[in-house]
Amino acid sequence: MPRTRPRTDLRHVVVGCGGLGSAAAYWLSRSLGGRVLALERHALGHDHGASQDHSRIIRYAQHQDAYAALAREAYATWRDVERVSGQTLVTETGGLIIEDVEARQGLTTGGRDIAGYAAVADRHDVDFELLDARAVQRRWPQFRLAGTEEAMYQRRTGIVDAARATATHLALARGHGAEIREHSPVRALRPTAGHVEVVLDDEVIRAERVIVAADARTNEVLDGLAEIPLTVLQEQVTYYATPNLLDFSPARFPVFMWHGADNFYGFPVHGEVATKLGQHMGGHEVTADTRTYEPDPLRRKRQEEFLAEHVPGFLGPELYTKTCLYTIPPDQHYVIDTVPGEPRVAVGVGAGHAFKFASLIGRILAELATTGASRHPIGTFALDRPALTDPSWGRAFHV
């Protein structure tokens, strides 16, 4: 049995120090100072979850209103963190969304098409350009298009440096007096009349409030408090040592998303001296314990074939392929809420696409933990929404 060493000086505990947890630790400590403890199961900066690597896409262009409503504040929040840290975390490159209209004929897009992106952008006063295939190739001759594609360009799209952002949040949290403890897996949360007990292997910590940002291990930590229907997928990205560095520098080549028979996303040279491509979704279902670190050769081949056809100069010798985990609710929306019936415990799940909003989500989780509410529109991400409570949704996410 763990020995009990109450820590009455600690008001708030954060479980998980990845993208969301590190941000929550920072924003909590900014208001509460040293009364914050952040616990990480692994070493800080590990590659067992979803927050490692150099780059994530940040964008105003969204195909759903719930995310467009947060985008402007997300950019502002990152700029605030850059201001107080002196670190460059966001690099704006401009961004292209390209839809292979012919390949998607007969497919249900759910608004994830050029018309859907444009409609949401109009509602949220986001500037953009609509381009045909010829205009795309005229501006970015790196692309090879069939001529039937449609595209949308948004100039503020860019890259968030994920690993640097997480490390920056944690460093700032320490600077405000927070304690950051690695190699400290949380085995259970036990609410009592006056506090929440956070059970570790050799200690039970008494917390006034708890934020759970444990991603693929969320249900393990919440055991007995809540059961969220989550699917964990093993995804991967590949870095290519292109010889065409100037053509694919951030000043000359944008972040892009390709919506076709398969969906891909790509980055200019950033972080490594290499380009980066990933396929959105489609990985094998795993758990945090059964996942492997072995890339899927079929996905590697699919990516190479796509690039050879559409962006040949992007290719080069494979530098490496990295795997990561997506933890996805059935509707693919985030979870940002307090546990029904236990408001002292807040939960954040990123659904495999949250890093663009990571600092803002951490700020919102800190608001939930300190005031019980947020000024931001997060109703779509509630724990009591039908996708999480109606058994007819099932556990598998809906595409």
pLDDT at residue 2 tops 50: no
Residue-averaged pLDDT of the chain: 94
Alpha helices for 148-203 (secondary structure H): 162-175
Which of 308, 328, 348 is a domain's end point?
Answer: 328
What's the CA gap between 24 and 252, in Å, rounded?
35
- CATH code: domain of residue 171: 3.50.50.60
Sign of the Cα torsion 288, 292, 298, 304 reads positive
Number of domains into which the chain is organized: 2
Based on the fold, state whether residues 23 and 134 are members of the same structural domain: no
Write the pLDDT tens digit of every residue in 113-148: 999 999 999 999 999 999 999 999 999 999 999 999
pLDDT at residue 199 tops 90: yes
Based on the fold, state whether residues 143 and 251 are members of the same structural domain: yes
First to last CA, the chain: 44
Write the pLDDT tens digit of every residue in 209-266: 999 999 999 999 999 899 999 999 999 999 999 999 999 999 999 999 999 999 999 9
Pick 5 or 385 by higher pLDDT.
385
Percentage of the chain beyond pLDDT 70 is 95
Based on the fold, state whether residues 168 and 304 are members of the same structural domain: no
Alpha helices for the chain (secondary structure H): 19-32, 65-85, 114-123, 133-139, 162-175, 218-222, 297-310, 358-371, 386-389
Based on the fold, state whether residues 114 and 247 are members of the same structural domain: yes
What's the CA gap between 83 and 213, in Å, rounded?
25
Based on the fold, state whether residues 119 and 188 are members of the same structural domain: no
Residue 73 lies in a domain: no
Residue 146 lies in a domain: yes
Q: Is 306 helix (H, G, I), strand (E, B) or coil?
A: helix
Based on the fold, state whether residues 256 and 378 are members of the same structural domain: no
pLDDT at residue 363 tops 60: yes
Edge-first strand listing for the sheet containing 158-160: 56-58, 158-160, 90-92
What's the CA gap between 339 and 226, in Å, rounded?
7
What's the CA gap between 197 and 213, in Å, rounded?
17
Residue 371 lies in a domain: yes
What's the CA gap between 345 and 311, in Å, rounded?
47
pLDDT value for 396: 58
Write the pLDDT tens digit of every residue in 276-289: 999 998 899 999 99
Residue 335 lies in a domain: yes
Residue 21 lies in a domain: yes
Question: Mean pLDDT throughout 139-160?
Answer: 97
Based on the fold, state whether residues 130 and 248 are members of the same structural domain: yes
| Beta-bridge mates of residue 150 | 99, 132
Write the pLDDT tens digit of every residue in 312-361: 999 999 999 999 999 999 999 999 999 999 999 999 999 999 999 999 99
Distance of CA 356 to the CA centre of its chain: 6
pLDDT value for 109: 74
| Beta-bridge mates of residue 128 | none
Tell me the two tokens of residue 297.
Answer: 């050769």
Place of tokens 């690039």: 307
Q: At what angle do helices 358-371 and 65-85 cross, to 10 degrees?
A: 90
- CATH code: domain of residue 238: 3.30.9.10
Question: Mean pLDDT throughout 156-172?
Answer: 98
What's the CA gap between 327 and 57, in Å, rounded?
18
Q: At what angle do helices 65-85 and 162-175 cross, to 10 degrees?
A: 60
Which of 304, 328, 352 is a domain's end point?
Answer: 328
Write the pLDDT tens digit of every residue in 11-58: 899 999 999 999 999 999 999 998 999 999 999 999 999 998 999 999
What's the CA gap between 268 and 245, in Å, rounded?
9
Based on the fold, state whether residues 261 and 213 are members of the same structural domain: no
Residue 169 lies in a domain: yes
Which of 280, 304, 328 is a domain's end point?
Answer: 328
Instruction: State which residues form the domain around 26.
Output: 11-51+163-229+331-388
pLDDT at residue 8 tops 80: no
Based on the fold, state whether residues 139 and 259 are members of the same structural domain: yes
Based on the fold, state whether residues 193 and 271 are members of the same structural domain: no
Contact 145, 64 (CB under 8 A): no
Which residue type is seen at 224?
Answer: G
Residue 374 lies in a domain: yes
| Selection from 242, 240, 230, 334 nearest residue 285 by Cα | 230
Residue 291 lies in a domain: yes
pLDDT value for 397: 53
Residues 6+ apart with CB under 8 A from 353: 326, 332
* Confidence bin at 103 (pLDDT 50/70/90): confident
Based on the fold, state whether residues 197 and 107 are members of the same structural domain: no
Residues 6+ apart with CB under 8 A from 285: 231, 232, 233, 234
Based on the fold, state whether residues 322 and 300 are members of the same structural domain: yes
Write the pLDDT tens digit of every residue in 68-82: 999 999 999 999 999
| Beta-bridge mates of residue 212 | 15, 347
What's the CA gap between 93 and 249, in Å, rounded?
9
